[in-house]
Every structure is written in C-alpha cells, then in structure tokens.
Amino acid sequence: MSSVKVKLKDGSVKEFPRGTSFLAVAEGISRGLAKAALAAKVDGEVVDLAQPLNQDAELEILTFDTPEGQDTFRHSSSHILAQAVKKLFPGTNLGIGPAIANGFYYDFDSEHVFTPEDLTKIEQEMDRIVKQDYGFERSEVSREEAIKFFEARGEKYKVELVQDLPVDAVISMYRQGDFVDLCAGPHVPSTGKIKAIKLQSVAGAYWRGSEKNKMLQRIYGTSFPKQAELEDYLFKLEEAKRRDHRKIGMELELFSFHDEGPGFPFFHPKGMVLRNELENFWREQHKKNGYQEIKTPIILNRSLWEQSGHWDHYRENMYFTKIDEADYAVKPMNCPGGILVYKTRLHSYRDLPIRMGELGLVHRHELSGALHGLLRVRNFTQDDAHIYLLPSQVKNELMGVISLVDYFYTVFGFEYHVELSTRPENSMGSDADWEMATNALQEALEAKGVNYKVNPGDGAFYGPKIDFHLRDCLGRTWQCGTIQLDFQMPEKFDMHYIGEDGQKHRPVMIHRTIYGSIERFIAILTEHYAGAFPLWLSPVQVRVLPISDRHEEYARNVAAELSTADVRVEVDERREKISYKIRQAQMDKVPYILVVGDKEVESRAVAVRRRGEGDLGARELDEFVQQVIGEIAKKL
C-alpha cells in the first residue's frame, strides 16, 4: 500500500498508509491527542476524523482548544438536542441547529410549548444519549433520496432545505442511533465526547429569519468536554450579569440612557470624572510621544464624503442634513477632517512624520435592536490619531504605535491578542498598494515580536489593519485598538509633501486608535473592574466619615487637605450610624474610607479602611495624603 505525507501545524512531516483515518493519524502522533481529537482540518477544510487520508496534505488535528473544534463539538451537541426532543415530543418538526459563540441552538416546530421544566427533562434525555456513545455516521445521498427520506418522516423544513441546495451540492446526512439529520458536518466521533451539557433558554425565531414565515421555538444551550469547564462558564455568565455596565453605571451614577435619545448616552458628573481621567491620560501620553491635538467639525459637506469614499462605502451608517440647500453629513469618522488640516499648508519631507491626534465625536446609525449600553451606541468619541509619513518611515512608526498601545493596555492591566485583517471585497486601490501595506504591518508585528493571527477579508475598505483584542477578568475579548495603513486617502485627497528632490510626493497615512471609543472603553472598564475602578480612575478616591457631628469640622479639614493635593474626596455628614456609612461607601466602591472620631481629632490622624482589604488602622494625616498622592501618580 502506498503512503502519503502530512505536514503538521508545527512544520513536521509524517508518513501514513494511504486510506488511514484521521483519527488513526492522531493516534500515530500521540495517544493523548487522539483522545482529545474532535475533527481534522485538512488543507483548510474541517472534516470528520473518520474520513480517510488519500493524498499529501497539510493537517491539523482539532481539539476543543481551537475555534473549529469548539464549533464541531457544539454543532454535534445540537444534534443530540434534536434527538432528545424528537424522543420526548413525537411529532415535532426540525428546523436548523448550528453552533454559535459559546454554545448552540436548535429550532423546533412543535404543538407543545417548551417550559423551563421541559429543558430539565430534555437535558436528562441528552445525558442518556451521551452515555449510549452513539457514533456519528455520515452518508451521502442524492437529492431525490434526501427528499424522499424526509417527506416520509414529515420533516417539511428539511425538504425545503434540500430543495434549495445548489444543483451540484453534495448532500449528506448524519445518523446517531435511530436519529438521522440533514447536515454538511463535520461532527465529533461519537455522542460520548459531549460530557457536560446545559440548556439555557427558549425563545421564538422565525423560520429562516423571515417574519413572513412561521415562528418556531429555539432552544439555546452550551456544552463542554468537562463538567468543571461548564460550571466555570456558568459562573462567569452569572458574574457577567452582576458586572453589567448598564446596571453599575446607574448604581454609581456614572451615566444613563433615555427614551428621548436612544443610543445617545448621558454622562453624569461622576461619569465625567472617569471620562476626563481617561482623556487626560490619553493627552499626556500622546504629547510625550510627539502627537499634536486637533479638533475638526462634526458636520461636513457631502463632497468631502464622496471624495473620501464614505458616501459610496458607508452611507447606510451615516446621518444627513441640509444647510443652505446643500447636502451635509454628520461625520462617522474623523479622518477626512484631519486630512483637511494636513492640507492647509505645504509640507517638506523634513516635517514628516506628522502625528495628529483627535478625541473626535462621531455619529453612526445603528439599528435599534443592536444598541447595547455604552458598548453599541449612535454617538461616541474616537481617540483617533493620523500619522502622515514617508514610505521609509512606515516600519518604525508602526512599531512606535504598537509600543504605545501596549503601554496603555499594561497600565489598565489588560492582556490582549492581535489580529491582522486583510483586504475585504469592497476595497479601494490597487493590488500592489494592498500587498505593500499588508507586508508593512506584518513586518512591524514581527519586528516587535508580537504573536498574531490573520483575519482574512476583514480590513477597512481603504487598507489592511491590526486589531487589538483585550481580555477581561472573565476571559471575554473586546476589540479596541486598531492600526490601519492607508495608501488610498492620500491619493483620493491629492495629498503631498516636497521631497529631497524638490518634487511632490504622496505621504503614507496611518489611522489608529487605542481606546477605540471612550464610551465603549468605559463600558469594558466598568465590567472588568465591576465598578471598583483603580484609585487613579475612581470618581471618588477618598470618603471621610465623621463618627458624630462634633467631628464634622475635622472631617472637612481632612477633605480640604486632600482636595488641595488634587485628591477627589467627599465627606459623608449624614446623621447615620458609622457602620451604615461604611457599608454605603463600600457599596459605592470608594477606594479609601477615612473614619474620624475623638482619637483622630486629638492626634491629627485618620482611621484608614482600604477597599478589598478592610481596616488598616490609624495613620497620620500627612502620611496618608502623601501615600495617596504617590499611588495616584503610579496609576494604582
């Protein structure tokens, strides 16, 4: 029997007999790998482990640690859900059951209305199916065979799906036990792989997403290879609810939303303190790194947006108005305005790079159903910067931006991963420009030693980009910072500089943000810290609590000294028990609580309580003031 070669993800090459299953290949690599294996990725295509290896290929054995492995695992879980529902509720018609982020769902057409109690029964039946360890068996059939099979079982939705498949489509079905479903696959080897399942909710969903069709019942669930992983995920779900920035924002009086302005946030005084601290930090660091701050108008003429390409590529997300019978648009992005600032005077090659930063308010039309607190709004402030530079300066400037982004995220305590997004379908510009820009971003990342993954086709319409995805304390990721290299805008706006040869040349343009948007970053920080912001960011850094009214004057003096040192401080003079005032300050997540009574007045001291640590005992007032000043300066 002839052999074939496989190139593994680590670059090594192994030989196996032609026709060896991918599961056997995994066993040949490592018994542990074979045990964890869920599917195989062969020359970029995800397939069942039971399929044979028939030719030389690049191969990756997929486990639950990979996105494709998780999708395969959870799609297989949806088939188990469908099998359980068909067993418990005969006569139910099946819709579709895909994997989704962190879980799966299946749509059902049933006369029975599913209840929370039903979900428990279905879970128990799913557990029984798992214990039976049925193999997922794939078969390929003709269109006629598939239609005949599902018509005989009254599965009208499956018949419709088969009829809508392309003429040349490969039609496959999967069987586990006595259950058969229409499915392209792939699936895990057997139901026994799905060790931990939780059904979470029931919702209505129109068949194929159209309100013209019947409303089906959609059961959502999630699954993991181990019970401990499921329990950890469910704990984090509950913790995420507790940390919801919308809830905390109201409790801490940071921001609010109102029906009079859906998607337009209202910032309260304490929220403005937090916001201003973020902006001040941004200004301080950008000044140190050679950026000049600018401000551009919110409303600009239609001709500008036509010139930039936004009118053709982004119009559905924009707001419009008329001024003096001419068309204007509310800016969805800051870059065209920044370009106009660049063009107000002639630049020499000696001037470049020019770094311009703008905390610019932009507006984008979002569907009402997509709005979500500060995470998805209709107006927000982007911490934009645009760098105009020589082609020879691109690599160094990109490396400088990467370093600055890393510094910001380190200060906030975020880990992150990086993605390189390449040319999308609706792009502008030549192949040569796109290749040059993409290569420059790759070279900068590699020169900085940054690990990254490629995200094909997700670049901006005018250039490729680097995206920074923050990881919060619950393991969730948020795309915030971005770096975009642009050869298109300088061309479209006829931008130039005078080179060493005295001739006009096109500059290169870098677009970049670090926070992404101030509003969204505040939402992420609020959930990451559960409202217990670091001392330097906290709207109220110290609260002074007099034990009785005779201690109020001293409490005010303590607050005055702290305020003189630029510490944000409040005095709680309410006629309440000291235990109540301490509890309230803790609920308000104030970093430092100072209790003052007779002893403190006599010795010019304060009794210090620190958030998360409790009672630290008495400290001299001057010593405490210096301590707090030092901690704020260190961004603690």
Phi (first) and psi of residue 229, to 5 degrees: -70, -40
Residue the block writes with tokens 């990725």? 41
Q: Are 64 and 91 in contact (CB under 8 A)?
A: no
Return the structure tokens found at 300: 């600009």
Q: Which amino acid, one-letter code, is at 218?
A: R
Interacting residues of 298 by C-beta distance below 8 A, sequence separation 6+: 330, 331, 361, 362, 363
b/e map of 482-500 (b: 16 or more CB within 10 Å)?
A: bbbbbbbbbbbbebebeee
Pairing of strands 292-293, 266-267: unpaired
Catalytic residues: 335, 364, 382, 384, 386, 465, 511
Q: DSSP characters for 61-102? A: EE-TTSHHHHHHHHHHHHHHHHHHHHHHSTTPEE----EETT
Instruction: Give the up-direction half-sphere exposure of residue 159: CA atoms within 13 A in the CB hemisphere.
Output: 11
Nearest partner of 615 among 545, 520, 536, 554, judged by Cα: 545
Under 8 Å between Cβ of 178 and 193: no
In sequence order, which residues have a C-beta less than 8 Å from that of residue 456 and are 6 or more positions away?
421, 422
Query: Alpha-carbon distance 32 to 233, whole Å?
Result: 24
545: tokens are 């609590």
For the chain, give percent helix, strand, coil, nearest 5: 40, 30, 30
Strands (E) located in 314-400: 319-323, 326-330, 354-363, 379-389
User: With left for phi above 0 and alpha for psi between -120 and 50, is residue 628 left, alpha or beta?
Assistant: alpha
Query: Can you say how many angstroms the Cα of residue 317 is from the centroid of all Cα atoms in its chain?
Result: 20
The DSSP letter of residue 249 is H
- Provide the sign of the torsion angle of the four alpha carbons 6, 12, 15, 20, taken in this order: negative
